[in-house]
Amino acid sequence: MLPKIAAKTYNMSAHVCSVGESAHEQNSSARHADLGDFRVGEKRAEAWHPDDNGKIKTMPDYAIESITTWDARFPLPDGAGMDALHTNSEYCFAVTLLGSRDGLCGTGIALTLGEGNRLVCEAIELLARPLANMEIEELMSDFGRMSRRLADDPSLRWLGPHKGVIHLALASITNACFDLWAKSRKLPLWKLLIDLTPEEVVRLLDLSYLEEILGEQDTLQLLRSKIADRTERMSVLRSGYPGYDTSVGWISYDDRKVRELTARAIDQGFRAFKLKVGSAENGRDLRRAAMLRECIGNSGTLMFDANQSWSLPVAIPICRSLAAYRPLWIEEPTHPDDIRAHVTLAEQIAPVKIAAGEHIPNRILFKNFMQAGGLHYVQADCTRLAGVSEFLTVSFLAKKFGLPVAPHVGDMGQLHQHLVLFNHVALGHQILFLEHIPHLRSHFVFPAHLKDGRYAPPQEPGASCDLRLVSGKNP
């Protein structure tokens, strides 16, 4: 089936936004380098560096001249994308396009699953209006303040606050801002973020409601404390960031298909795999868990994902049974709002670890989970949180609490491949895994490149979110 798309535009001028053309054609040679040939530390845009007298050169002005939303829907192959609760094989992006001069355009995405996508697009149209005619450098120089202004819109905040349709809209808008910013500086987002001063990073964040745990000075100190040994962590730009494959274990796949896909993923270099659980019969979950453990061997890393399907009384015994297959974590074992149940479960199934975050919508709830000890792996998602900005805030929180970040990838890994590099290099987060879901690969202008199961750092300017369907570049 072909993808479906609908669009609305809110114009501030006669400008036409051309996604994935001018900005990328100017850098057509900047493709993914081989893992052994990353252009680490290269000056991609001389205009962003001091001149011989130590003065910062003038930056070109890129104002937001048009705001366009796209309701993009992608039917998946039979069974792909299905879990215990979400059984429709369709991935959708609520897309924000921020058009500027010279055809430059920022693309932002937030993931939904079907009809709700149009609601997020309508919310984007309402929420994004304050960005009209703003210069991108001015906007990003204090983006944390703008993020809070948008999140606290006096009318739209009532629909959340800071969750649901309105927060998904803010995610898409925010991600478009970061994409436009990186493109305007002719840098991949990971490099732009890593090159910022600690003070510039902090101004990207909204730290409200976190002050008792994480204030501006705490955040600055975290960044400054990691500067001295940053060079040691830059090796990830040469080796790539390890991925894990979710696509082998969708809940509707039969045993034969799981085996075939796992064997193929192992041939591609993957060493970590996730299996969907939460079947109507616990015995099916246990059989599939044993099968996948056999397929990947004792050295492979295995995760289980229940997608919120269990109540606490159900979760305790089944998690104890699944522990026999030595999972790295059990993901979303119960309702994402039930912090107390997560805490109880963590105590009852120890030493098995809990991962959560796919449906934790904001930094305040993440703070509560961390304070309570309700999760061990932080699965922040910049298409569920308020975009890149709140993802970074949650990453700072996780560092404060000594917790690892393993993002859920509602973006299919396109944007998060930038953010995990910042987390490791700038914050000192450990290298863990970045989820890999390949089903929409052909729909991106610059799909994530993996070699030997590792994400190669992108070389194109921007956040890697441009879609072929939107740009007119058909797969």
Position 383, amino acid: T
> How far is C-alpha 285 from the geometric centre of its chain's CA atoms?
28
Q: Which of 107, 105, 77, 106 is nearest to 91 (CA)?
A: 77
Retrieve residue 324's tokens. 């026999």
CA dihedral 393, 412, 125, 156 (to 10 degrees): -40
Q: Give which of 343, 360, 385, 305 is closest to 81, Cα–Cα.
A: 305
Q: Among residues 167, 274, 408, 424, which one is catalytic?
A: 408
Among 162, 167, 226, 276, the one annotated catalytic: 276
List the beta bridge partners of residue 10.
67
Biggest alpha carbon–alpha carbon distance for the chain:
70
CA distances from 70 to 95, 120, 126, 153, 172 (A): 5, 10, 14, 22, 11
Enumerate the β-bridge partners of residue 352.
none
Nearest to 465 by CA among 118, 162, 188: 188
Give CA torsion, residues 182, 133, 383, 142, to 10 deg. Answer: 70
- Classified as helix, coil or strand, 467 is strand
Determine the Cα–Cα distance for residues 37 and 350; give it in Å rounded to an integer. Answer: 43
C-alpha to C-alpha distance for 99 and 103, rounded to whole angstroms: 7
| Strand ranges (E), 21-159 | 66-75, 90-99, 105-112
Is 276 labeled as catalytic in the residue annotation?
A: yes
- Per 3-state DSSP, the chain is made up of helix, strand and coil in percentages (nearest 5) of 40, 15, 45
Nearest to 174 by CA among 452, 9, 419: 419
Whether cis (ω within 30° of 0) applies to the bond prior to 351 is yes
183 classed as catalytic: no
Q: Which residues are catalytic?
A: 276, 408
